Structure 1
Amino acid sequence: MTPPATPDDIRQGLRTDAERNRARVLAAARSVFSEQGLEVPMTVIARQAGVGIATLYRRFPTREDLIGAVFDDRMDAYVAAISEALNDPDPWHGFTTYVERVCAMQAADRGFADLLTLTFPTAKALEAKRDTAYKGWLALITRAKDSGHLRPDFSPEDLPVLLMANAGVISATGDAAPDTWRRLVAYMLESYAAEPVRSNELPPAPAPRALYRAMIRLTRR
């Protein structure tokens, strides 16, 4: 006969269930945020995770708590990107590579695209990493300007403007023309240069049929 469960067994079982539920919620949120953005209802995430909404809120009392947990590793990658750019011996290459990398991160994850153009004051750890990346960004701009490659009137706020524009292109083109953002970013990087430059390998424009599908998709939305 199986011996009765002890209080320690019960507590361990509850902890195991709680961790399992937390992992399921995080996995569901990553998937849903990536596909639909950060404004998706919490009920959708709970349903995707196979848990009740009360269980979700026990693990993550606010949306910002959930967003902070989901994107903790992405923000680490965001900070790492600026660190690598600052270590590039070529200031202009470091600058352009960083911008391209961040925009690629946007394109790969719609939730992260939203994250980069929003602020979450109560998500302290997330905002601390954003602040670290921003300070690195200021240093990267200074290096690029001092090298003579970045136009002197470039502003730190030009990156958020680009990210907003890029997020719009990514959202509008979707699967119909998924690489369109690359052409936008290439054009913008050329415009940031102190001296006129022309890329020999400008990413191709979307095919007319693909762009038409994207326009139809946007209209239906």
Structure 2
Amino acid sequence: MRRSATGRPAASSWAAPRSTPRPRESADRPPPCRIRRRSRPRTLLNELALRAAPSPAIAARRDRGHAIMREIITRAQDAGVLRADWALEDIAFITWSHTRVVEQAAGIAPEAWRRNLALILDGLRAEAAHPLPVPPISADQLNHSLLADPDRG
């Protein structure tokens, strides 16, 4: 990966790598992860980052990342390894639920997140798919839920 003068990945390194394994190979073995529990509660800065409009540069990178994720989803669905009704917006639900497991189990069973992730990934496989009760939320609904104040019902 190329790095800029600041040590961050160079902009061109955000492109989807062409040396990635085929969808079936990726689905059979998730990448090794290193997850550490956050040592402090969410800060005001983190809250503002979620609720403030991104700069044009950040928005462009987000949009590029979404395009890459949509391409990966399409490739996996076309290969028959990812359930056909999976949508990019579903990633938020997986992230929200898995993050909660990681946070809650870290001090009790620090490896429990691996089981949760395996259960999630198994449920995404095309051969495990059953009809879902509702369609995925729209991008607008997802953005609204990210900006919503959780303390206001």
Partner of 1:128: 60
Q: Which structure is higher in RCO with an 8 Å CA cutoff and minimum separation 6?
A: 2
2:25, 2:13 → 1: CA distance? Answer: 16
Unaligned residue ranges in structure 2 (runs of 5+): 1-6, 130-153
- Report if the CA contact (8 A) 1:150-1:192 is conserved: yes
The correspondence for 1:178, drawn from 106, 110, 116, is 110
CA contact (8 A) 2:37 2:106 kept: no
Aligned equivalents of 1:186 and 1:80: distance in 2? 28
TM-score (norm 2): 0.57
TM-score by length of 1: 0.41
Q: Return the match for 1:191 from 123, 126, 132.
A: 123
Counterpart CA distance in 2 for 1:132 and 1:145 is 20
The separation in 1 between residues aligned to 2:25 and 2:36, in whole angstroms, is 22
Are residues 194 and 122 of structure 1, via their aligned partners in 2, closer, same or farther at CA, if it must alter by over 3 Å?
closer
Counterpart contact for 2:27–2:81, Cα < 8 Å: no
Q: Which residue, 140, 145, 148 being the options, matches 2:80?
A: 148
Kindly provide the amino acid, as one letter, of the partner of residue 164 in structure 1.
W
**% identical equivalent positions:** 26
Aligned to 2:87, the other structure's residue is in SS state coil
**Which position in structure 2 is the counterpart of 1:208?**
none
Task: Trace 1:84-163 onto structure 2 (pairs within 5 A).
Answer: 84=17, 87-94=19-26, 104=33, 107-108=35-36, 110=38, 118=50, 120-163=52-95
Q: Which is greater in Rg?
A: 1
The number of residues matched between the two structures is 115
